[in-house]
């Protein structure tokens, strides 16, 4: 619930860009997936772009149109991967071949 409040507070000012640094890191796997789906709905309604930092490749691919892979320190852009998935995403999509291919592409970067 605290994560929802934090996201709502951030969106209250109607930003054009929302910066999220590992917002779901402390959540269990089931709640994390629920929050991922909720975040997509919220961002679509608010018409806001998000810059989402995560170490979870599945999360990056599910939430993104573009994944930027960074190198180890000092961080440099290693690769930029376009995620070609439909904008209306569901958790069931994580088991589809198109999602798995995008995930494998991002993890091989």
The 10 Å Cβ neighbour count of residue 58 is 18
Containing structural domain, residue 96: 2-107
Rg (CA), the chain: 14
Distance CA 23, CA 13 (A): 18
Per the CB < 8 A criterion, the answer to whether 7 and 19 are in contact is: no
- 26-47 pLDDT per residue, tens: 889 999 999 899 889 988 888 8
The CATH number given to whatever domain includes residue 94 is 3.40.50.300
**Count of structural domains, the chain:** 1
| pLDDT higher than 70, residue 109 | no
Q: Which residues pair with 80 in a beta bridge?
A: 68
> What percent of the chain stands above pLDDT 90?
41
Query: Comparing C-alpha atoms, which of 39, 56, 57 is closest to residue 48?
Result: 39
pTM of structure = 0.83
| pLDDT higher than 70, residue 1 | no
Predicted local distance difference test score (pLDDT) of residue 87: 83
Predicted local distance difference test score (pLDDT) of residue 74: 92
């Amino acid at each position: 619930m605290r994560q929802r409040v934090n996201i709502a507070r951030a969106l209250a000012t109607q930003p054009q860009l929302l910066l999220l640094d590992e917002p779901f890191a402390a959540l269990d796997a089931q709640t994390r997936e629920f929050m991922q789906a909720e975040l997509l709905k919220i961002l679509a309604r608010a018409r806001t772009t998000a810059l989402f930092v995560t170490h979870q490749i599945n999360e990056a691919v599910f939430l993104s149109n573009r994944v930027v892979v960074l190198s180890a320190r000092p961080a440099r852009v290693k690769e930029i991967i376009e995620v070609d998935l439909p904008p209306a995403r569901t958790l069931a999509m994580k088991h589809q071949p198109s999602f798995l291919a995008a995930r494998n592409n991002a993890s091989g970067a």
